[in-house]
Each structure stands twice: as C-alpha cells, then as structure tokens.
Homo-oligomer: A and B are copies of this chain.
C-alpha cells in the first residue's frame, strides 16, 4: 500500500454538496430554545426581527439529514476549501509514538480559522433575503474578520461591535476587518442606547462581549434591512461547520483512515461539532467506535464543571434561553486567560451529546496548551491558534499514552486555526510570564447564581 501523503486535498468535484444535520440523527433532541419572556419554545416569528429567515429555518430543522449547500456558497468555499487533512509525520517522529496522528487544518484562509465556513453561508442567505446590512460582535476578532471577508464578497455592509479593550490590544485584527470594508465600532459606544447607558455608568470600561452583543442586536432591531449574525453556539452555525467533518470523512474513506479518537477544542462548540458530525452519525449506526473528546480551558470549564441548565446567551440577558452546559452568564474568565474559548455556555447540541454520555470532555491549563503549541510549531511548521492548541494538547497526550502502551491508535484532531493575529499570548509564554488560573468552587457558585429560574 502506498504511503499516506503529508497532506490530503480533495478535488473540487469531491467536495461535499450538503451539510450534515446532526439533529436529524440524534436519538434524543436538545430541548428547544425558549422565549425569555414567555418561557415557551421560540417560534419563527419570535426570531425573525433578529435573524435571517433561512437561518431560522435551519436552526429549527430537526428532520432533514442533509441540507443542500447552495452552489453560490460552494463557489465561495472553493476560494479556500477543501482544507487539507494532514498526516503529522514530523510530530509523530518527534514524539516517537506508534500512534498515527492526523489533523484537519482550517487555518488556510485569511481570517485564519473555520469561522469563514459559517460567515459565507450566513451572508449568502442575508443577501438572498434582500438585506443590505448586518451587525455582529467580535471579541478575539476571528469571527469579525471572517464575516468582513464574506460581506466584501457579497457586497453587504457590515458593522462590527468589537470589545473596546480587544480593539485597542489587537489593532491588526481591526485593520483586516477595515481592509475588507467592515466598520469597526469599539464597544461600548455612543451609537446605541445600551452603549450610552453603560458608558454613563462606567466611563472607563473596556467593554465586554455581552455588551457588544446587546449593541449589535439593538442596531439590527432598528432597521428593516438589517439583521444580527452570530459565529458559534447556535445550531445553524454547527450545521455550516459540518463541511469540515464531511470533507474529513471523504478523505478518510479515500485513504482507508479509521480514527480511534477524534479531538476538538470547544468554546461555543461549532468547530468541534462540525468536525465530528458525520462520524458521530455513523457511530450511532454502529459503523465505528470512535472516542470523541472535546477540550476546554481549565479557566472556563463549561462542560467539565458547568451546570446543564437553561441560560441566556449573553451577559446582558437579552437573548432566548438555551439549554446548555453553562457557568452562568455572569461568569467572567480570568483576564490572564489567553485566546478565545472564553464563553460561559456551550452549543446546545454539544451539551446534549455530553449530557447523554456520547462524548468526553477535558479541561486543560493554558501553560500546558502553549507547551504543546510550541512543540507543534517547531515540528509541523504551523503556528497554531491558542484555541486550536487545546485539541493539539490532548492529541499529544493520547499519542504519548500509545507510546507507553505500544498501541497503534489513529488520532484525528481539528486544528481550527492559526495564531498569527494573536501573538501576545505567545510573547507571554516565551517570556516565562504566563500563569494558570482555575476558578474555585466559590467562584463558580457566584456565577451559577446568575442563572435564570426556569421550571
């Protein structure tokens, strides 16, 4: 048999033509999204003022196994997809492990991550609906960048509310969004009522994701031709990210690769759910026995230490309620925590899988994440995003276990992005000034107290 290539690229003809709807496969569905006023399941009408029509349909679709990717989105995908499935020969050699390690690398586009997969789709549907502008929030900046690229392509106006401290600390992210024609407004701002209110109360605040979400939603609600879009957590975002898993599955089948373990990092959960989706569906049908592992930061341990409860998506408590693993919307990650994955909650789909014992979760401290990231950069060449390095850390741990036991397992992980715009954390690590932070049980009790009362 011929040696597996370093990088497996599908041809454009082999690229998936449909997304994979996990909810049509799951034996038990995640509980529905609730209206925060009535506590009844959200209807299409509830969501229409905020979200694009077709995205709401996808959000609520529990029946169709496959949902067609429109040709126009497939053409957009061809600009930067298929992404490579890489055999980590150099890492394997360095670790001296009998394990085979593969990673699906989503960082080959300018936004530097998988976020573009959903941005392309969301902007396409907005354009199709005749909308002329979109609003969103961005923290670390990956989502804002991806969305600005898609908005430039489809020629739709974009306003990004960027957490103020983040827009100051990451001028390069801001510059990229502006190069793509997006308008960046540091949040809180005086362009919205909620922003003005917060500024009046805290003139010196650096802002928060919760506040940025509230400002973006307020602007979307004010205009007929504008909607709000979100880059993770929701089911339609998970749906779009299944293009990752589908490509991976086609490549695996083509080269006879049978993963024993599949690993991804989880913040909002869309990248991880997208990677495992079709493999998970197969497992339910007895076609494989893969161990699925989601990895989160020990400083923001939604799955491993959170509660499975209905909660708001934002700290401003304005969104519908989602049943998910959550630390409470009042949870504030330690400021010394690097990179993304700072979200208090989790995708409803991922939460349900975890709750039903269908996947594992691990929490890892950031110093160990950067040990792995550095080792990976030096052997495989790619400088990984801190977020993606969570998956990488556990992949290395599993490969080292194989070295001890002599097992020749096949480990596949999602390398969701690169760290090119987010180097301050590497600078801390290189300088030896990085510290770890794990919330105490008392910290968590306080943030759990912010959970809404839902019967």
Contacts and interface: CB of A to CB of B under 8 A. Distances in A.
B427 A153 contact: no
A279 B380 CA distance: 32
A192 interface: no
A319 interface: no
A134 interface: no
A65 interface: no
A430 B175 contact: yes
A303 to B, nearest CB: 29
A179 to B, nearest CB: 5
A49 interface: no
A280 to B, nearest CB: 29
A176 B380 CA distance: 14
A79 B9 contact: no
Interface string A70-84: 000000001110000
Contacts of A108: 108
Contacts of A381: 79-80, 109-110, 149, 153
Nearest to A421: B420
A33 to B, nearest CB: 33
Assembly stoichiometry (copies): 2
B423 A175 contact: yes
Nearest to A120: B381
Interface string A371-387: 00010011111110000
A423 B110 contact: no
Nearest to A112: B420
A12 B175 CA distance: 36
A119 to B, nearest CB: 11
29 contacts: A5-B12, A5-B78, A6-B78, A6-B79, A9-B9, A79-B90, A79-B380, A79-B381, A90-B153, A109-B382, A110-B383, A110-B420, A112-B420, A149-B381, A152-B377, A171-B423, A175-B423, A175-B424, A175-B430, A176-B383, A176-B423, A176-B426, A179-B374, A179-B383, A179-B426, A179-B429, A180-B377, A181-B378, A420-B421
